[in-house]
Chain A
């Protein structure tokens, strides 16, 4: 079923548009665009900025992941929910917020691009690695300490190998997101900076050179495929598994002054980094009539000409789509994860499932238009395609989060259960599911967040009478006038709030489930 879903909604439309592009007549060979020095520049920039963004994101996030993985403190679940807020915000809105706070001289070029990518992706590392960390048996490290290993040696030889699978998974996702970044790069980079994705858009939409766009999207897919392969290798080579422990056995309250300072320091630093741009959005949503007030929020209750609905209806639409997309992603992704993680599982499927995150959204969008154009499968204008497409982006998250956990389950636990007479189904039910439940819930949270924030595919498919929040924000932002701008930012604040609350609720389920083991 995962393979079928992927073939139908990913491979087929993408193949259709690439085939169409390559077969369009035009002067010169398909390789022209590859020989263009500008293309080479673009590819090189795309690769290095994605790698640098990934490293920076990990550096900024690890202290917080550590704190969340080791300490229990009041407000811990709130912190875990709030880090997701930047992740769902529309890139244009965030880029505009960054322009408002970055000092002149630092507001254009590669530096703000890296900073913005880090801002978006902190949640990926903090939540994936932090959750994994919180399940690691503390006693391994303590045993090493008893045997005389210093803190540095313990980090290097015990913690790092244990964390490697989740770190590799998070790094892969951050890399792919930065690799295909589009709006952030164009706005914060200024003219002269472009990623492969931006160049594909330029070729396909501005120049209508489908052949060049198709060749570029293959180049992008190749890079992405290689990157995923490398991280999968790393994950397999570096990863060491140990048994999982329930969080409540692992977490402890920060006791010494040093521990308290560490918790406060890393959380405070993160709050400053993530909070400032968000505050700009809040401030702009209140800036009406030359002063400050809630005018824009009141206006949200009224129908607008920006789309044929009241803005509040966009909240409902977003929640409905997000619930559906999460359901699809968890079912399809969960099944795929079990298939991939089972011994001798198809590594190819694992690899293939990651690709939608790194494939060209523009080309995929056009692919949908030409692939599903004839009855009986003409659902170009069906609104049900929206959650399906959003799930496509969310499934890689589910797989990447669940597979390392499944692989890390101590095989002896399964063997012991089997030895005691449990059937394979029962082993799965009573050993795998509870442990995976936790990972699956983190994955579900991400799937929900991705769907809430998804813009590229949704704007292609949404209708004016049922916009999602990001689409509604974009429509307001494209209209002149003070109230329109303020309503755009007010909706961004609403999106932030909806996200934080949804993630808190999803985490709640997780905690209850987590109580099983």
Chain B
């Protein structure tokens, strides 16, 4: 019995190996015919934009979408030098230093960077290239305040005012990306010494901490369509108000939710060519394409973030209903990497336990 199973193992491995070899690499020396983009669950692209790239480059674009940004970066660190694809997109300023220290990328300076504001160039060696930026901001439910004749909060300071007691819901900074961004926003605004006191006051003002964005926005927040939530202020994105308009039928004339501008924290999403990529040349073409107007103008309605290419025009729905924060809060990636764990621990002590 034992010996037989041993043989079967060998046979199984053998069959799988042959099948994989036959299906996988179609000969070593040939020119690659596809380029593989490794990215997170929130990545989206219009079908015609994808086809445009494939026609232009003569390469098939294969998209591997596996997990959230953290999981994708973890996988890229585990497979550094022997990556799953050619280009990784979706690394943000929170995770950047970790990936650069893991030596995951090779440098590439795209000629299209001329159209990108230098504030988005986070790596002088160009191992990563900024593709979009999105801001995590406090959103509020306009109707909720209008019905009660109360002015909505105008700043982060207002949230500690007893008038706004029990109205704020935030995501757990230890488990959620927007939750972490809002914690970083408070660090950027009140300083490494002052943010704890701010959170202490938020806690006294009955802030509700929940696990993730889905629960905070679609269940606890009162302003999302169809929600029976009771809290009119939530941590979400600068682009959430236009989404509330575009996905509502019939479309309302004005956005039902607004953004508290001074709370916005900058998140930049970057792409890089993976070290050991099978098709490095195709990877460069893909990065160039992602910076081109065609892709950049597709970004807002697909991923609800903003293009970094100055020449890209925002879709009319976006122009009408969105507020692009003019000077969002920000922290250097190295500062985040050096302090993230300590901040999250302290935050957990202050806001949760």
Contacts and interface: CB of A to CB of B under 8 A. Distances in A.
A181 to B, nearest CB: 13
Interface string A357-374: 000000001100110011
Nearest to B175: A186
Given A96-B214, A207-B341, A481-B243, A289 B20 contact: no
Contacts of B353: 192
A377 B17 contact: yes
B349 to A, nearest CB: 11
Contacts of A464: 43, 63, 65
Interface in B248-301: 248-250, 301
A190 B213 CA distance: 13
A339 B246 CA distance: 58
Contact of B212 (A100, A187, A303, A460): A187
Nearest to B69: A205
B215 A483 contact: no
Given A4-B8, A206-B70, 20 more contacts: A1-B12, A3-B5, A186-B175, A191-B209, A287-B226, A289-B249, A295-B249, A308-B45, A375-B24, A377-B17, A382-B20, A463-B64, A475-B41, A478-B42, A478-B213, A479-B304, A480-B224, A481-B225, A482-B247, A485-B226
B67 interface: yes
A340 to B, nearest CB: 12
A463 B70 contact: no
B172 A191 contact: yes
Nearest to A482: B225
Contact of A191 (B248, B250, B348): B348
B345 to A, nearest CB: 10
A463 B39 CA distance: 10
B248 A482 contact: yes
A133 interface: no
A56 B74 CA distance: 37
A205 B98 CA distance: 11
B211 A186 contact: yes
B240 interface: yes
Contacts of A377: 13, 16-17, 20
B327 interface: no
Nearest to B82: A373
A375 to B, nearest CB: 6
A100 B70 CA distance: 29
Nearest to A289: B249
Interface string A430-452: 00000000000000000000000
Contact of A206 (B41, B174, B304): B174
26 contacts: A1-B5, A3-B9, A8-B9, A8-B16, A95-B215, A99-B215, A190-B209, A190-B211, A205-B70, A206-B174, A289-B249, A307-B65, A308-B50, A365-B67, A369-B79, A375-B21, A377-B17, A381-B64, A459-B41, A459-B66, A464-B43, A464-B63, A474-B41, A478-B213, A482-B225, A485-B225
B52 to A, nearest CB: 14
B226 A284 contact: yes
A20 interface: yes
A317 B140 CA distance: 39
A303 B78 contact: no
A281 interface: no
A5 B5 CA distance: 10
Interface string B159-189: 0000000000000101100000000000000
Nearest to A207: B341
* A: interface residue count bin: 35 or more
Contacts of B54: none
Contacts of B214: 92, 96, 477-478
Contacts of A8: 9, 12-13, 16
A83 interface: no
Contacts of A3: 5, 8-9
Nearest to A20: B78
A326 B12 CA distance: 19
A377 to B, nearest CB: 6
Contacts of A289: 248-250
A190 B64 CA distance: 32
Contact of B75 (A369, A376, A482): A369
B302 interface: yes
Nearest to A193: B211
Contacts of B244: 480-482
B23 interface: yes
Nearest to A285: B226
B122 interface: no
B237 interface: yes
Interface string A464-505: 110000000011011111111110000000000000000000
Contacts of B59: none
Interface string B24-51: 1100000000001000011111110010
A379 interface: yes
A202 B71 CA distance: 11
B222 interface: no
Contact of B41 (A4, A202, A366, A478): A478
A5 B12 contact: yes
B8 A1 contact: yes
Contacts of B144: none
Interface string A297-308: 000000101111
A366 B98 contact: no
Contact of A370 (B65, B79, B247): B79
A459 B67 contact: yes
A479 B236 CA distance: 11
A7 interface: yes
Q: Which 9 A-B pairs have the closest CB atoms?
A: A481-B247, A482-B225, A4-B9, A480-B243, A376-B17, A483-B247, A481-B243, A191-B352, A376-B21
Nearest to B9: A4
Contacts of A15: none
A205 B304 CA distance: 24
Contacts of A5: 12
A138 interface: no
Contact of A462 (B65, B226, B240): B65
A370 B78 contact: yes
Contacts of B50: 308
Contacts of B62: 381, 463
Given A3-B5, A305-B301, A481 B248 contact: yes
A305 B70 CA distance: 22
B65 A463 contact: yes
B249 A480 contact: no
Contacts of B247: 480-484
B217 interface: yes
Contacts of A460: 66-67, 71
A8 B8 CA distance: 11
A382 B25 CA distance: 12
Contacts of A462: 65-66
B53 to A, nearest CB: 13
A205 B84 CA distance: 18
A288 interface: yes
A482 B98 contact: no
B146 interface: no
Contacts of A479: 42, 243, 304
A173 interface: no
Contact of B84 (A204, A308, A380): A380
A47 B62 CA distance: 42
Nearest to A481: B247
A53 B112 CA distance: 57
Nearest to A186: B211
B89 to A, nearest CB: 13
B57 interface: no
B210 interface: yes
